[in-house]
């Protein structure tokens, strides 16, 4: 699904994957690669992260700790935005991949409380990285193998309205400068 010359990736050494978010944050600012440039890297068991927005890619990251809530979110998004490629992460959560209409990074805390963590976020901004299931490392796996669908940020936000506690969520969705 990720064979697209418009997408950009970053190298993530296999030993850094244990703490995915920390590893990806350390990779910011490094040279973005095309997937075709990383064949040897992947062959040697290493991983890659994908940058948001390159190729108009947006990744919906469902982080709510309650599995039933995440499942309801996933169903709402697919109903509103269409079937797409969905990946199950090593923590058992889901990433939905869509082509989107604008660069932004909306996110929402659980019950509107940052202490509880993220309920969801949309990574459609160039400084947002996501680990991808590019080789058989067992950390991430394909859940639904559909092609990447096209939607709008507003459609995704509409689907997530039930889990959006800040009704001014559009404050979070302003186009990146």
Q: Are 124 and 57 in contact (CB under 8 A)?
A: yes
Element (H, E) at 141: strand 141-144
pLDDT by residue (tens digit) across 116-139? Answer: 888 999 999 987 888 887 655 556
Q: Which residues of the chain are under the pLDDT cut of 70?
A: 14-31, 134-139, 165-177
Q: Supply the pLDDT for residue 113.
A: 80
Interacting residues of 65 by C-beta distance below 8 A, sequence separation 6+: 110, 117
pLDDT computed for residue 44 by the predictor? 82
Q: Is the pTM of this model over 0.85?
A: no
Residues constituting the chain: 177
CA–CA distances in Å: residue 75 to residues 49, 86, 124, 153: 25, 11, 20, 16
Could you tell me which of 159, 165, 157, 147 has the C-alpha nearest to residue 111?
A: 165
């Amino acid at each position: 699904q990720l064979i697209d010359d418009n997408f950009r990736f970053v190298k993530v050494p296999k030993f850094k994957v244990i703490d995915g978010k920390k590893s990806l944050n350390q990779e910011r600012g490094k040279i973005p690669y095309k997937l075709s440039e990383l064949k040897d890297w992947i062959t040697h068991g290493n991983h890659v992260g994908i940058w948001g927005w390159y190729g108009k890619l947006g990744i919906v990251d469902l982080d709510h700790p309650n599995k039933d809530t995440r499942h309801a979110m996933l169903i709402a998004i697919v109903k509103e935005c269409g079937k797409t490629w969905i990946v199950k992460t090593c923590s058992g959560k889901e990433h939905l991949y869509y082509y989107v209409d604008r660069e932004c990074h909306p996110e929402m805390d659980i019950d509107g409380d940052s202490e509880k963590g993220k309920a969801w976020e949309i990574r459609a901004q160039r400084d947002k990285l996501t680990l991808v299931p590019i080789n058989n490392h067992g950390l991430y796996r394909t859940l639904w193998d559909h092609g990447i669908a096209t939607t709008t940020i507003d459609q995704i936000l509409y689907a997530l309205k039930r889990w959006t506690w800040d009704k001014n969520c559009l404050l979070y969705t302003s186009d990146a400068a």
